[in-house]
Structure 1
Amino acid sequence: MPNATGKSFDYILVGGGLQSGLMAMAIRHHQPEARLAIVERESQIAGNHTWSFHATDVPAKSSAWVAPLIESRWPSYQILVGGRKRSVNLEYFSTSSAHFASVISHTLQGSDCEILTNATATELTGNRVTLHDGRQLDAAVVFDNRGPSRVDMQSYTGGFQKFWGFEILLENDWPIANPIVMDDRIDQRDGFRFVYTLPLERRRVLVEDTRFSNSPSIDRDECLDKVQTYLSDRGCRHYKIVREESGVLPMPTGGPLPGSELPKLAGGYRGGWFHAATGYSFPMSIAVAEIVATTPVENMPAVLQVLANEHLGRAKFARFLNRLLFDLVKPKTRYQIFRRFYRVLDESRIARFYGHRFTRTDAFRIVVGIPPMGL
């Protein structure tokens, strides 16, 4: 059967989210003549998200192709946990789905590349994708980047990072110039709970009610009530909600590790390429994208296995931290773990931890002095 566009491809990326977007940027940078297709089941790529990350999450070799994706940047951010306040002097970046999708679409425009939306992949092999309408796409390599599989609560062990965010237009300027990544001056029911704020413009701010919880359930109206109280306490009484986003990210204590799908090629959450103790995948997704764009197809599984081996010890330690957080510490006292984290770690250790590049010494520093049952 002929493929959907009358063309063959070098790469087919199934799923139009973060991992496929990063792969597309890396491939176009390193192989400008490569033919690639992104297959997305929804009507647009990139969904409805805000992705934030440290400047240190981007290695020098990847900075040229990651740079266009950066929409907002700040020189530092604040942490307010357990009555302590700290400024973390690490450059912090952010990009919205709208910006991310626009950059990807522009980068692929006018080339032998396709973005196929409203297209559900029903079958994947190493060289072929079959769509819901029977069309088939062929390529030298197919990557499964469709995000995490649905969590089976009967077998899943671990907790969740869940959030509901509201992008707010204000009548007056937001009072704080830099992000507040954690502000736990909010009731601590349902896990460690905090407000996250990103000042996108002087009068436009994203405010998220976030928590690390044992349950994946989240109530939009309850989150909105907390956000409205938070805004009111800061003198913001006249505003308009222009966008909302929500999510539930797995923070497992076991389960698949990075590269767990190999030799099958899978990226992002689908391939286990995420930080179990934070729920985020941006740093490892950059590393995977760089490998995909610079490695011959026949060598790709082996090179990705090397990367998986490099992250194995860290991935196991992250799952140990989740056991500590979700199984051994009472929800109302979980804030003490994060207060200590930001009290004892310097910026370089914080950067390595969030980038999933932490050393054994870093891991030792994180846990020494934490009594799991006495918090």
Structure 2
Amino acid sequence: MKILVTGGAGFIGSAVIRHIIGSTTDSAVNLDKLTYAGNLESLAEVSDSERYAFEHVDICNRAELDRVFSEHQPDAVMHLAAESHVDRSITGPAAFIETNIVGTYTLLEAARHYWQGLDDTRKAAFRFHHISTDEVYGDLENPEELFTETTPYAPSSPYSASKASSDHLVRAWQRTYGLPVLVTNCSNNYGPYHFPEKLIPLIILNALEGKPLPIYGKGDQIRDWLYVEDHARALYKVLTECQIGETYNIGGHNEKQNIEVVHTLCDILDELSPATAGMDGTLPVGADLSAISSYRQLITYVQDRPGHDLRYAIDASKIQRELGWTPVETFETGIRKTVEWYLNNLEWCRRVQDGSYQRERLGTIA
């Protein structure tokens, strides 16, 4: 099978492609605009494979999408291309409307045109898998409540509203045109190659640099944390095993307050790279790390962001019951692996932080 993965240079998309190339016999075509969050270095381990191809294409460009479908003849689409950072959506929502809504519409139309031209056998086997977020559901007030596949949508931010819009478009294209779609909504991902603006890598790298560890409000926001490689396995399983029109929620069964996550990160760093030992020069130092006994002392509480949802929690029982998927990693094992990865890949982090990954890759593509 040949799978067209949009947003394949992003955090989750690159994990999906690494899984496809590393753990299956399928091929992957990575279609990515390469915004700031797209990093081809996250695919270095698979980029030389004969089963991998890259297309530098914006999903809003219909002519280029038509070319990619025609040239590569994919058997399925996994649509992960999206603007995804909530804070950025608050300060600049236009990009989220353009990519997440207009881009999804454009991709749906290109996929529909391609699918309608397939022979009966390939047409019946084709799938359009749309990967979304649990943020479309809003937040939960009842501590016993969980998001299910039938929870009404109530998005709170421009980001989640744009993703909710894209979900509705995908389902409408099945209902109206018969396009064979699948939808998944996932909880917060974490793991290797995560862009440093996100909570977990931000805390790790700020701590190592002796910078403040910023926590919104009181840090009591609750999220369900899912290790990205577990998510990649789940997405592939949905694509290859579930029925057309199904929706699955994918979660890690790991509800944690943000402050708990930060405390855990600080404790692991205290063990693996103690602040009192000082730095080895691999990253610039902000504070005098030799003067503190724990990275927890760098925690700083900042003003909460507007419309910040308090609690997300996924009921992932349907995918476990129907497809037999459960996460391999607990939060404890996954978060330790994540910290160890960042400590062992500080050069990757530095190249993201100083922008050299972007300058060099754009020069190569040009």
TM over 0.5: no
TM-score for both structures, normalised by structure 1 = 0.28
Greater helix proportion:
2
Greater strand proportion:
1
